[in-house]
Amino acid sequence: MSNNGRPLSPHLSIYSWPITMTTSILHRATGLGLSVGFIVLAAWLLDAAVGAEAYSAMVSYLDTTVGRVLLVGWSFAFFFHLANGVRHFVWDVGRGFEIRQANASAWFVMILAVVSTAGFWWVRT
């Protein structure tokens, strides 16, 4: 079948995954992850009020390998969702819709989220 060398995308073997797809999926995924994180935040605040025993039991769950991985995940989710949320605000006023702009802002948000997460834990530790 001749197609004059035109790309056939989207097709299974040559589909070029757009970075904007990644940021779109990540925005929803990190949002859901942060909703789960809300449970931990509420538990942290409530257990702090309940007393030293309940508080240290709650914190000891977070001070495990699994807990630390989750906390790093939540910090990344927070910075990504925040940065990409600002990207959505820019779209809401009708700017940044050109493909090149959207791709550039997607990469910018990804990099900013990773750097912010690293910076947060660099300050924290």
Partner 1 sequence: MVCNDPCCRLHSRFLVGAHMSLRTPLGQVLGQGSAKDGTGHFWGQRVSGMALLVLGLWFAYSMATIPGFSHSEALAFIAPPLNAVLLLLLVASLGYHSNLGVQVVIEDYVHGHATKLVSLILSRFAHTFLAVAAAYGIIKIGLGA
> Is-contact 124 62, C-beta < 8 A?
no
In terms of C-beta density within 10 A (0-12 exposed, 13-18 middle, 19 or more buried), how is residue 88 classed? exposed
120: nearest Cα among 81, 86, 73, 84: 73
The window from 8-16, 17-25, 37-45, 101-109 that contacts partner 1 (CB under 8 A) reads: 37-45
Among 75, 76, 87, 109, binds partner 1 (CB under 8 A): 75
Footprint on residues 2-31 left by partner 1 (CB under 8 A): 28, 31
* Interacting residues with partner 1 (CB under 8 A): 28, 31-32, 34-35, 38-39, 41-42, 44-50, 52, 55-56, 59, 75, 78-79, 82, 85-86, 88-89, 92, 120, 123-124
